[in-house]
Structure 1
Amino acid sequence: MVIRRMIMAVAAVLTVSLTGAVESGAQTVRTGENQSPSAGQLLFYNHAYAVIDKQTADAVEHSGYLRDFANFEVRTTTGGGLTWTGRYLKGRETYLELFRVGDLPGQDAEFGSAGLAVSVERSGELAKVTERLRAQGVANPVKYRQTRDFGDGVPVPWFDTIRTVNQYNAFDGWAMEYLPEYFADPRSKTEPAAHPGDVSRERFLPDDYQKHLMRDVTSIRIAVTAHDLANTVPLLRAGGCALQPAAGAGTVARCGATTIRLDSVPRAQAGLRQVEMSLNRAVANRHEERIGRSTLVVGPGSRAVWTFGGAPA
């Protein structure tokens, strides 16, 4: 879900204390990333989006194999005053959202743009993450409430978000909490609450994944600028993700069942690199599917790896 333009509109100015915290973020990426908060895990990988080249995006959109492999759909969504069309692979708790170059407005339309959403599982826990961010020196986390329009022109509250900043080079990272109003709307087609305060990823996503091979995203690797990395690390730390340095330059965050690797690169090299997925059942043989400029390898076993190429020549 791409909501940066609204964020920039509602929160154009950050305080001096936040700027200072962000400027020091590049230092905290290295000095504190081997530590995980003692208060426990609050944030878990929800989904990532990426802008890929036209050839690959078109191949994804028309792939018969992907429709068998995953709960796949091409969907147009309206929310927060914007409309976007994405290509979705949805699992039990996690999903992936892909855009073609030019699909989105402004700099979001450029190849290599990407984003990452991590979310809480219980109502009220986003406030705890916000307090943890403030304890790290992020005095004024940027807050935004996203809505969704189901076609009648009446916006329905969808989820709340927080960010460390409202501007970034090419990678947008945010934390989110689904709202009770969204679950209560029958058009959302979500599941009943499993317990009081249930705003979980599993409740949000449909169970159609059971009809396909793909179960969930277990690892994702995205190349981001040093500036965007420094802005994202405090959010992952506040969520309770276990952080450690990546080989080369970057950070590896273990957020529950999903590992997030963010490599630090120049803007020209930014973008989605690899996605690993668990399967609902083990497969005996290795299958390789070429999809545009990407390669999806499924099996053997209960694992799939999807690798994406860099910028086209």
Structure 2
Amino acid sequence: MLMRRTVRMIVVLAVTLAGAIGGGVGTAQADGSRPANDRQLLFYNHSYGVLDRETADAIEHSAYLPGFADFQVRTTTGTGGQTWTGRYLMGRETYLELFGVGDIAGQDGTLGSAGLGLSTERAGDLATVTERLKSEGVPDPVGFLQTRDFGDGVPVPWFDAVLTTTEYDAFGAWAMEYRPEYFADPRGHTEPASFPGDVGRERYLSDDYRTHLMRDVTSVRLAVTEGDLADTVPLLRAGGFAVRTVTDGGVVAERGGTTIRLDAVPRDQAGLQRVDMSLNRPVQERHIERIGHSTLVVGPGSHAVWTFNGDGTDANGTDAPGAVAR
């Protein structure tokens, strides 16, 4: 039950197949002075990062992670036969997706590439997001259908998605809405609807998180280029996030349960930096797990922090200056 997106490679292919029309949003501004849209339409679904091979392999073969989270390693086939192999930590409504260099084809599989998936909870809200994007300075949002092949060669509609542009440096964000055909397919192992029009994250994800420590992603920090940042801000605003600038030129997006921080950096510094997670139950003592070139600090209390390339916390797991607040 994996929802993976190689955002750009698949989008370019899907645009070609579906005849969608895309346009750049290079002039979008990360202006934190404007209020958020009234109703929250998009919520953090998952984020991904492409890590060095040593770290990715250490994550895949970790003895600790299968107990910490609903942990999976899986290869998925999407639109046009595109495949990707990811390492997944699944929560109640959110999850984390980790790759090694080359696990995704082309540009998306290079070191430091990353992505952010934002999803709707109610059927029809993606159309509203698309209209809001136009008022945010995106005249031609890129829409496409993602499919999933469960192994029989027959693509199943998975979700509809919208991007601000198909041009990018190393990071992309997209809005998505799960399709009823996917919920109806028993191979997806999804849950019954809780209300009419329920296309939410909790329905999509398994309840297996309950038997592990990890519950959900509460904040995420990614380093992105200025161009990728400018292309992402309109989507955050259209989804209802309250977006404010920070002193280093990045932005923080709040509302919807998960805090998203994007720092503006040169391309060679881009990548997933830090993920904060809530736990299903408090732990009494701090546990530090070093996994490749990353550090996962669990507890004390009901939270965990995973930093990559030494960013966000010191060697003891203490919050470093500029870290995302829990």
Question: What TM-score do the two structures reach when normalised by structure 1?
Answer: 0.94
Higher deviation after alignment, 189-198 or 251-260: 251-260
- Residue 52 of structure 1 and its aligned partner are, at CA, apart by 0.3
Matched, 1:23 2:59: no
1:70 alignment partner in structure 2: 69
Secondary structure of 1:92's counterpart equals: coil
* Alpha-carbon distance in structure 1 between the residues aligned to 2:266 and 2:137: 27
TM-superposed CA distance for 1:94, in Å, is 0.2
Q: CA deviation at 1:203?
A: 0.3
Q: Whole-Å Cα distance in 2 between the matches of residues 222 and 2 of structure 1?
A: 17
Give the Cα separation in 2 of the matches to 1:301 and 1:145: 41
CA 101–93 in structure 1, closer or farther in 2 if over 3 Å, else same:
same
* Alpha carbons 1:294, 1:309 under 8 Å: kept: yes
Other-structure match for 1:53 = 52
Q: CA deviation at 1:14?
A: 5.8
CA distance in structure 2 between the aligned counterparts of 1:299 and 1:251, rounded to whole angstroms: 27
Distance 2:45 2:37 in 1: 22
Corresponding position of 1:6? 10
Seq. identity, %: 63
- SS at 1:23 equivalent: coil
SS at match of 1:151: coil
Contact kept, 8 Å, 1:141 with 1:165, in 2: the verdict is yes
Tell me which residue corresponds to 1:239: 239
Shift of 1:103: 1.3
**Which structure 1 residue ranges, 5 or more long, are not aligned?**
none
Offset at 1:247?
3.3
Residue 128 of structure 2 aligns to a residue whose secondary structure is: helix
User: How do residues 196-207 of structure 1 correspond to structure 2 at under 5 angstroms?
Assistant: 196-207=196-207
Cα deviation per residue 1:128-164 (whole Å; 9 max; x = unaligned)?
0001001122111000100001111110000000010
Deviations 1:199-255 (A, max 9, x none): 000000000000000000000000000000000000000000011112312110014
| Displaced runs of 4 or more, over 3 A | 9-15
Bigger shift: residues 102-111 or 211-220: 102-111
Q: Check the 8 A contact 1:70/1:214 in 2, yes or no.
A: yes
Q: Is the 8 A contact 2:146 2:160 kept in 1?
A: yes
Map of 1:101 onto structure 2: 101
Residues 48-78 of structure 1: per-residue CA shift (max 9 Å, x gap):
1110011110110011111100000101111
The amino acid across from 2:154 in the alignment is V
In the TM superposition, 1:127-138 aligns within 5 A as: 127-138=127-138
Asked if 1:187 corresponds to 2:187, the answer is yes
Deviation, 1:306, is: 0.3
Q: Using the TM superposition, give the Cα deviation of residue 182 of structure 1 relative to its aligned residue in structure 2, in angstroms.
A: 0.2
| Structure 1 residues 160 and 279: alpha-carbon distance in aligned structure 2, compared to 1, 3 A threshold | same
Deviation at 1:98, TM superposition (A): 0.4
| Contact map agreement 1:43 1:255 (CA 8 A) in 2 | no
Matches within 5 A, 1:1-313: 1-11=5-15, 18-19=23-24, 22-25=25-28, 28-30=29-31, 33-80=32-79, 81-309=81-309
Using the size of structure 2 for normalisation, the TM-score is 0.90
1:10 Cα deviation after fit? 4.3
User: What secondary structure, in the 3-state scheme, does the structure 1 residue paired with 2:116 have?
Assistant: strand
**Can you give the 5+ residue segments of structure 2 that lack an aligned partner in the other structure?**
312-326
> How far apart are 1:34 and its partner, in Å?
3.4
Which AA in structure 2 matches 1:79? G
What SS is found at the alignment partner of 1:29? Answer: coil
Structure 2 Cα separation of the partners of residues 5 and 202 of structure 1: 27
1:217 partner letter = V
8 A contact 1:34–1:242 mirrored in 2: no
Cα root mean square deviation, aligned: 1.5
For residues 74-106 of structure 1, what are the alpha-carbon distances to aligned partners after superposition, in whole Å with 9 as ceiling and x for unaligned? Answer: 011111121111000000000000000111111
Q: How far is 1:8 from its partner?
A: 1.6
Does the CA contact (< 8 Å) of 2:172 and 2:228 recur in 1?
A: yes
Contact 1:246 1:261 in 2 (8 A): no
**CA distance, structure 2, for counterparts of residue 11 and residue 154 of structure 1:** 20
Rounded to whole Å, the distance in 2 between the matches of 1:116 and 1:246 is 19
For 1:48 and 1:38, locate their aligned partners in 2 and report how far apart those are by CA, in whole Å.
23
Structure 1 CA distance for aligned equivalents of residues 110 and 164 of structure 2: 23
TM-superposed deviation, 1:183: 0.1
Q: Does the aligned pair in 2 maintain the 1:156–1:181 contact within 8 Å?
A: yes
Residue 2 of structure 1: how far off its partner (Å): 1.1
Give aligned pairs, total: 303
Q: CA deviation at 1:310?
A: 7.0
Q: Per-residue CA shift, 1:96-120, capped at 9, x if unaligned? A: 0000011111111211000000000
Amino acid at match of 2:27: S
Distance 2:170 2:300 in 1: 35
